[in-house]
Amino acid sequence: MPHTDWTEPGSTSYPFRQYVFKVQSRCNLDCDYCYVYHLADQGWRRQPKYMAPDTVRTAARRMAEHAGRHGMDRVKVTIHGGEPLLGGREYLADFLSIMRQNTPGIAIDFSVQTNGVLLDDAMAAFLVEEGVIVGISLDGDRAANDLHRRFRDGRSSYDFVEAAIRRMVRPENRDRFGGVLCTVQLPADPLRVWRSLLDLGTPAVDFLLPHGTWSSPPPGVRPGEAGTPYADWLIPIFDEWFDAPRRPAAVRIFQDILNLLMGGIDSYEFFGLAPVCLVVVETDGTYEQVDSMKAAYEGAAATGMGVFTHSLDELLVTPGIVARQVGLDALSETCRACRLVATCGGGLYSHRYREGSGFVNPSVFCADLYALISHIERRTIDRLAERGLTLAQVRGYQADSEVSGRGPR
């Protein structure tokens, strides 16, 4: 099954700058909404349990080769899974050492996304000492988190994760704490979720929409029916955050929308039209597109290439990668005609899938994204008016300060 209707590589390709390494293919939690274990693609069953040293070494050399060819001296590497801490400190120390030894002249900004269960004092100290930014997944207060994020035997994971967050906000660790990843749970009270995260002292929150497609809709979304449940859930949090005398924490989804509304370019891959410059390296060394595509169908993220057989430059010109770098040209007619397309960007690529038409569709969250962005736009216009400014003026200032052309993300 083709990944996209877009098949012609663009005249300009943007080199990969961000890598997600699936160092462990298994997990110690059983979150029932997880795109890896509970949605369409069950490829994890065929993966080795961990990424072997030779795979890490070969992947690092591919990165160095790619960076050198494109004149880059800095890249980002996210250590991911499964649960990336399952290998323990010794495994992670070897991973970091091999990566650094095989990428001479390149600075690597390392981060890890963990469920927090294994993040004890010793692990936290190790990651901080190694300069690794730590992100922790938690879906809010105990009631919200326990809706889905449990152990296989049904036990709550909340106490373990709360302890991990409190550990990372300590003064000696806080500079390396990237914040909390929180998946929206419609049954939970949004302001209670938001305030509970602030009470833990997290410096940043990233709200995610649960993965789904037109063929397998996310909870609460019924294609063809009216309603914007996810916008309705997020808007009260935005208003409280936006109206606060001092912003209590960074919130990426809101900050990205505000930046794009005011004429900015850079964003993470959920919004905007900037080229996506990210590749996933699976446990066995195969290259994949963004791994949330596993929500669409078996093999949706696959490229047929890997670190042992193909360079990253070969991967760069494959149709699936090109489709995420050509911006407006890869979007559906509906998206191209939308007044908010420069901000929305069609939504997350994975959420556009519909059986029969691939990924050339609006996001299954289209109505929610339109409602959320429109609300933030209205609030922004009103706030600027209080200062005697218009949105058009701010966009002009932003355009003057941006480097011309589309920046990669």
Per-residue model confidence as pLDDT tens digits over 87-110: 999 999 999 999 999 999 999 999
pLDDT tens string 250-293:
999 999 999 999 988 766 778 988 888 999 999 999 999 888 88
Kindly report the average pLDDT of the chain as a whole number.
91
pLDDT tens string 305-314:
999 999 999 9
Percent over 70 (pLDDT), the chain:
92
123 vs 345: CA distance, rounded Å: 38
pLDDT tens string 132-183:
999 999 999 999 999 999 999 999 999 999 999 999 999 999 999 999 999 9
pTM: 0.91
CATH 3.20.20.70 fits 18-328, yes or no: yes
pLDDT tens string 239-249:
999 999 999 99
